[in-house]
Structure 1
Amino acid sequence: MIFTELLNSARSRFAKRMQYNRVVGEIELLTQRDLADMGADRSDMLRRAYQDIYGR
């Protein structure tokens, strides 16, 4: 029972980390021009991605 909970927790954390890494990779590929066209700031996008995925 405890092992199953630990395993499920680890899987959940791993899935979130993979999702976060994927989003960060996409954000990092944006050029300054892309960001300017969107009126976006890279650091704000990264912070929002973290909050959306990890809920903090």
Structure 2
Amino acid sequence: MILDNLMSRARTSIAKRRQYNRLIAEIDSFSSRDLADMRADRSEMLYQVHKQIYG
């Protein structure tokens, strides 16, 4: 039971980290021009991604 819980938490953590890394890579791929066109701030986007994934 304890091992199952530990494995489940590890899988969840890995999935969250994978999703986080994928979104960070996507944000990093935007050029300054792309961000200006979207009227977006890179640091705010990074903050929102972290907040969305990890709460």
Smaller-chain TM-score bracket: over 0.9
Unaligned stretches of 5+ residues in structure 2: none
Q: Which 4+ residue blocks in structure 1 deviate beyond 6 angstroms?
A: none
Partner of 2:53: 53
| TM-score of the aligned structures, taking structure 1 as reference length | 0.97
Matched, 1:22 2:47: no
How much does 1:35 deviate?
Answer: 0.3
| TM-score of the aligned structures, taking structure 2 as reference length | 0.99
The root-mean-square deviation of aligned C-alpha atoms, in Å, is 0.3
Q: Percent identity?
A: 53
Matching residue's letter, 1:53:
I
Matches within 5 A, 1:33-52: 33-52=33-52
